[in-house]
Each structure stands twice: as C-alpha cells, then as structure tokens.
Amino acid sequence: MHRSLFIPSFLIVFIFSNMLLYSQHKFYINLNDRSDDLFKVTLFPEKLSEENKTYNFAATAPGTYQLMNIGRYVKSFHVYDKNENEIAVNNISENKWLISQPQDVYKIVYSISETWDTPVDENQIYLMAGSSIEEDNVVMNNQCIFGYFEGMQNYPINFKIDYPVDWKVGTALMKNSSGYFEAGSFDYLVDSPVLLGDLSESSITISGTLVKVYTYSKTDLIKSDDLLNSVEDILYAADKFTNGLPVDKYTFLFHFEDEAAGAWEHSYSSFYVFPEFPLSKNYIKNLRSTVAHEFFHIVTPLNIHSELISNFNFAEPKLSQHIWLYEGVTEWASDALQLGANIYSIQEYLEELTTKLRQAEGFRKDLSLTELSVNSFEYQDQFYIFYCRGPIIMTLLDIKLLDESDGQIGLREVINELAKDYGPKKSFSEEKFFEDFTDRTFPDVMDFFNMYVKGTEPLPIKEYFEKVGINYLETAGFDSSKAGFDFEFALKEGNLVIAILTEDSLPVKVGDVFYKYNGEEITPQNLGQIFSKFNNYKPGETISFVMKRDSEEFVFDYKLPAEKITHIFKIIEDADERQLKLRDAWINLQ
C-alpha cells in the first residue's frame, strides 16, 4: 500500500480446483436500496456442519497493516431455516457470530455500514481499503462487506449485485453467464475490490496483458483516457523491467472526490482515492509515482510472498517480517524502472533519493525494517519508514550486488529470478527467505541484511555511491534564499496535518490539524492555492496558522527558517573506468 499514505502488500492465490471440489456460497447485495449508508446482504450458504457454526468478519486484511475489526460495522445479523424460522445466533466477539443450529441454515440476512462515513472511536479504516455508498457511486473493498464461515475460508464465493442500470462496474473479478461475480475463495474476494457508479472506462494491451482503467470523478473532471495517457509509459517501463508482465490482466480503479488517502494494491488490481483536482503537472507526477508503486506489486508480493500471506489468518493475523520486501523493494522498483526506461534522468532519480532521505529524518532510526514489519499494528506512526528508508536500503543493496558481480547482477535480476522460481502459487519460507536470497547472490549479502534490514546500523550511503561515481554529502549548510519548514505536511481524512516534526521546541505535535490560514479554512480543494502562497515567504518571516488539536483551536505563529541543504548527490565528472561501468549497469536495463 502506498500511503500517500499508503499504503502498501497483498496477494492471494485463486485455486481454480476449488470450483470443482465445492459448491459456492451465494451472496446478493441490493445497491438499488442505498438508504442509511448500509449494505443489505443476503447469503445462501453451502451446507454447513457443526465445525462451520462461526461466521467471521475480518480483523484486518493483507496489505493494510492496520486493525479493522469489520464486525464493528454490522448493524443486524439474522439467520433463517427453509421455513423462514429464525435460528438463534450469539455475537460472541467483535468479529464473530455463533450460529446455534448451523446444519439447518438456509439463508443469512445482515446489514453492514459503509466505513467512509461511519464514525469510530479508533482504528479508522483507510479510505482506499474501506467502503462507501453514495447516490452516484459505491466503493466495495470486500472484507468490509463479506465474511466467511469457520473452516470454509477457501470455499468459492459467487455474488450478484443489484444496481442502477446506467452504472458501470469496475473490478478484476469475472462475471459468469448467470450474472454472478466469481471468487475462488474469501481471500481472492478480498483481493478484488469493486467500484460501481457513473464511471469512465479505458483500456490498453501491453505485451499481451489487458490493462483496464475505471474512474469515478465527482464532477466528471477526470477521465480514464486522461489517466491512461498519463501513466502509459510507466506501464511499458514496468513491462521492460520485469521482462514481460507476469499477469494477463490488470484493473486500475480511481476514485476522485473530496478526500486524499492514497492507494491499496491487489494481485490483479489497485484502488486509488484522490481529491478531484485538475490534472496539473505536479498532480500527475504524484499519481504517476503512486501508480508505478502499486502496479509493481504484481511482482512483490503476487509472485514473491511469504507463506503467512498465502495462508492469511483474517481472524488472528500474524504479520510477516518481510514487509520490507513488499513495500521497500516495490518503492525502490517504482523509481528504478523509470530510471531504466529514461523516464527519469539520473538527476531526477537522485532528487527522488534526496527527498526520501529527508523524509526519513522524521522517523525513528532505532527501528529496523523487520521489527517494524512484525509490529506494524503497533507502529502505525512509523510505517512510512518502508517508503523512505526502505527504498534507500534497497538502492544500496542493488549497488552492492552490481559491484560484486562486476555489473552483471543487480537487485532487478534477483527479484525477477525469485518471481520466476516462486510465482502466485508457491510461497517462500517466512524464516528462511534471507538465506534463500543470499544463496542466490553472495555470502556477505547476509551481513548486509543483518546490519541494515534486521539491524539499524548507519547506512553506508557515501561509500556505496562512490562505487557508481557519485558523491554524497549528508549536510551542506543552509540556503538563505529559500524558506523551509521543520515539519512535513500530510492529508489525513480530509485534513492537512503535521505528519513529521523535526524540531522538538515547536508548540505543535504530530497529528495537529492546520485549520485556517489568513482566516480561510484549509480544505483539500484550496490546498494548492494556499501552498502557492507559502512560496512567497522568505526566511525570517512569520507565517500564522489556526490549528486544531482534538476540538481545541490555537494559533501557531511560525518563523520560517532558511532551508537546510541536506542529502546532496553529485555526479563525479572524472569518474574512473570501473565507476563508469557500474554506473552504466546501475542506470540502464540490460
């Protein structure tokens, strides 16, 4: 999941043989009735036994790395036999309903609230992983709507949706001749979001892979054709990077309204939530970066994933220690594939690295990538480490591999080999993956993992970049002509907030909301205009905000410092022959 926020990884295998072994659970969802922001669901299950008496809603979902507890959103839950007699049920925990006579169940009727507009006290679900019901569109991330019976997580599921006749449906799921969408398991269903409504549609075929784009835009400002034209070169670059895309179909689902959240990746699709702004150069750049990241998840984790993902426990999840692979490697690849395809110049690529290093300064340096992986529920405020420090570490690993192989093997080649040897239906060992990776490369790669992925030793950025003929300076003074900030902004649930704070003496905290500027309330719609005014300030001048912390307002008068010059990369003009050789191998795709 790319968290623009982001998110961040997810894969589940569709076992076609299940269709032959089992009958399907059949769900019906009435979206012609969109009253009360409720999904009205009727389920006709396959014959149940005593071991299937518990109906579960998900505690989380792969690739979100957050607690969801979908049972919180259930408003009614009734079970009936064939004679319409109600069967007793007991809500035994937040996400579990115990059915007293499972063998007599004919149908289950329940309603569940959408997550976007339903207030909760904690663990607000990311918009790109949630659900929404509006008059002209519906968002279905399916763990927010469907559940599964104990012992039947791998049973096939068919569902039919009643919706307005003039709506379009965007999803990677296939519809059968009877009008049912088909999923081979609950896992695959969760892996396949659905966007319905007044959508535009576009498509392209790249090396045999059919790519579709569906877009909801609140005022019809943004069309699928515009988006596809904006990212087409990214898709071709990914095809080149992977030596052929490892999927035969892929679906992009875009939602443009009032909120900015980011995106959530899936095996054969990805879902994006962004505010509806005109497609300016900067806005397109942000979208392209997000698309490059999410699309590469067709490699990690779809084709390279731990056994903990392929056998995901929705009720009591155990997190993989390899989120660094799913998110850090993916973010590295999203930039590297653009460098290799000449979409980024070397200077633009180095500027991306500078940005990531500056972002990393606001996060804990004593938290390793593996520790953050297995404790990501606890360290939600540190999760962005995967997207800033993570790709820096992977860049160093890439250079190390190229150096030791005399330019023949980099991280790209190892990742492509791993994807070929594993694939969607074969998982790697959670405990032995580091050894597997090392066995394919060089013995001292294990030392690298121990120091920088499992450990938190200072990164050898200067030493490694000299190998490719590039100088690196951690600090280089101040630029007195430009004003800087000692904090970073982010959009969260429609509010502009402090995401990273690098100066402890300031009277603000991470999470404080920028409420007003010059008497004007700050909204996603006027952000661009307000930020453009910040550019007119000089170092030493004061900028004043009205802030909100919980429900309390206070004034924040901030004296702008000179911009710090940090993390500077400069190409060595008189690099030697070996440096030039490695640089060429590092930049260009073989």
Does 350 reside within a domain?
yes
What's 432's domain CATH number? 1.10.390
- 224 and 347 together in one domain: no
- Residue type (1 letter), 95: N
- Using CA atoms of 439, 445, 450, 455 in order, give the dihedral in degrees to the nearest 10: -140
- 184 and 247 together in one domain: yes
Report d(CA 555, CA 506) in Å as an integer.
Answer: 12
Which pLDDT does position 1 carry in this prediction?
59
Report d(CA 157, CA 488) in Å as an integer.
Answer: 44
Task: Pull the structure tokens for residue 337.
Answer: 């594939």
What's 528's domain CATH number? 2.30.42.10
Report d(CA 436, CA 426) in Å as an integer.
Answer: 14
Tell me which residue range forms the domain holding 543.
485-560
Residue 59, judged by CB atoms within 10 A of its CB (0-12, 13-18, 19+), counts as buried
Which pLDDT does position 318 carry in this prediction?
87
* CB under 8 A, 24+ apart: contacts of 173-180: 180/26
Which pLDDT does position 495 carry in this prediction?
83
**Average pLDDT, consecutive stretches of 10 residues, N- to C-terminus, the chain (590 residues):** 40 36 80 95 95 97 91 98 98 98 98 96 92 98 98 95 97 95 96 98 97 98 97 97 96 93 93 94 92 96 91 88 96 97 96 93 91 91 92 98 97 97 94 98 98 98 98 88 82 80 86 92 78 83 94 94 90 96 88
Which pLDDT does position 19 carry in this prediction?
38
Q: Looking at the 3D structure of the chain, how many domains does it have?
A: 3
- 248 and 160 together in one domain: yes
Largest CA-CA distance found in the chain, in angstroms, rounded: 86
- 494 and 454 together in one domain: no
Which pLDDT does position 487 carry in this prediction?
85
Which pLDDT does position 363 carry in this prediction?
85
Report d(CA 564, CA 10) in Å as an integer.
Answer: 38
Report d(CA 393, CA 396) in Å as an integer.
Answer: 5
Cα angle for residues 205, 206, 209 (degrees, 5° grid): 70
Report d(CA 58, CA 189) in Å as an integer.
Answer: 12
Cβ distance 25 to 44 under 8 Å? yes
Does 87 reside within a domain?
yes
- 365 and 280 together in one domain: no
- 120 and 186 together in one domain: yes
Does 118 reside within a domain?
yes
Which distant-in-sequence residues (6+ apart) come within 8 Å of 369 by Cβ?
323, 324, 328, 385, 386, 389, 390, 393, 453, 454
Radius of gyration for the chain, computed over Cα atoms and rounded to the nearest angstrom: 25
Which pLDDT does position 11 carry in this prediction?
33
Does 474 reside within a domain?
no
- 430 and 524 together in one domain: no
Cβ distance 553 to 547 under 8 Å? yes
Does 136 reside within a domain?
yes
- 346 and 279 together in one domain: no
Task: Pull the structure tokens for residue 238.
Answer: 């990914």
Listed residues 240, 259, 293: the one ending a domain: 293
Does 476 reside within a domain?
no
Task: Quote helix, strand, coil % in the chain, to nearest 5.
Answer: 30, 30, 40
Does 479 reside within a domain?
no
- 405 and 505 together in one domain: no
- 26 and 147 together in one domain: yes
Which pLDDT does position 23 carry in this prediction?
56
Does 325 reside within a domain?
yes
- 115 and 60 together in one domain: yes
Which pLDDT does position 557 carry in this prediction?
94
- 394 and 489 together in one domain: no
Q: Is the alpha carbon torsion for 462, 465, 466, 471 positive or negative?
A: negative
Which pLDDT does position 504 carry in this prediction?
81
Which distant-in-sequence residues (6+ apart) come within 8 Å of 569 by Cβ?
350, 353, 354, 465, 470, 471, 472
